[in-house]
Amino acid sequence: MSINLNADTILSCNSNESGVTYTWLYQGSKSLPLGVSIMRENHIAIIGADPSNVGTFTCVINKNGQQAASTTNVTIIPEKAHVTSVVASPNPPQTGHRADIHCNATGYPYPSIYWSYTDTMGMTYMPISTSYLDTTTVRIENFQPSLHGGAWSCIARNSLGVDRLSIMM
């Protein structure tokens, strides 16, 4: 079974016989991964699917010492990298103050985030007094329109593709 990243899904296990019990296994163990819970004895829910939910789920049906098993292999559907937003805080930035630019991106495998800056003259470089809080956020300590004004582009890349979204400062 292939599911989308962050999707919810239900796995069911049914028997036509009465008096049966059900046991759920993940990768052969009774420990279910985070985000997976037993809804009813014969149903489990995967809430907000992520890579930790990828693997083999087995429902073991028990009746009078006899067992039957049903197995489902769960995978995450690959998705091209996509930049969903680039946001400045504060917006607009104030001269002489700190400004952060944050990028949100989706995709599976999870995309790597890169930044590009092009000034108002069309030159591409990383201006002074900027740093990375993490790969998704650029910090400008002392915003100066003459130094930091221009297009800040967030670039998201995974094995399926590249996407870019810019904000003008």
Can you give the pLDDT of all 169 residues of the chain as single tens digits? 999 999 999 999 999 888 999 999 999 999 999 999 999 889 999 999 999 999 999 999 999 999 999 999 999 999 999 999 999 999 888 999 999 999 999 999 999 999 999 988 888 877 766 777 788 999 999 999 988 989 999 999 999 999 999 999 8
Whole-angstrom Cα distance, residue 128 to residue 137? 16
60 near 23, Cβ under 8 Å? yes
Is residue 90 within a helix (H) or strand (E), and if so which, with residue range? none
* CATH top class, domain 79-168: mainly beta
> Could you tell me the residue ranges of all domains in the chain?
2-76, 79-168
DSSP state of 91: S
Whole-angstrom Cα distance, residue 17 to residue 43? 16
- In 3-state terms, what secondary structure has residue 11? strand
119 near 144, Cβ under 8 Å? no
95 near 144, Cβ under 8 Å? yes
DSSP state of 111: P
Topology at the third CATH level for domain 2-76: Immunoglobulin-like (2.60.40)
Is residue 145 within a helix (H) or strand (E), and if so which, with residue range? helix 145-148
- Provide the Cα torsion 144, 147, 153, 155; round to 10°: -110
What are the structure tokens assigned to 30, written together?
């009774």
Say if residue 47 is exposed, middle or buried (CB neighbours under 10 Å; 0-12, 13-18, 19+).
middle
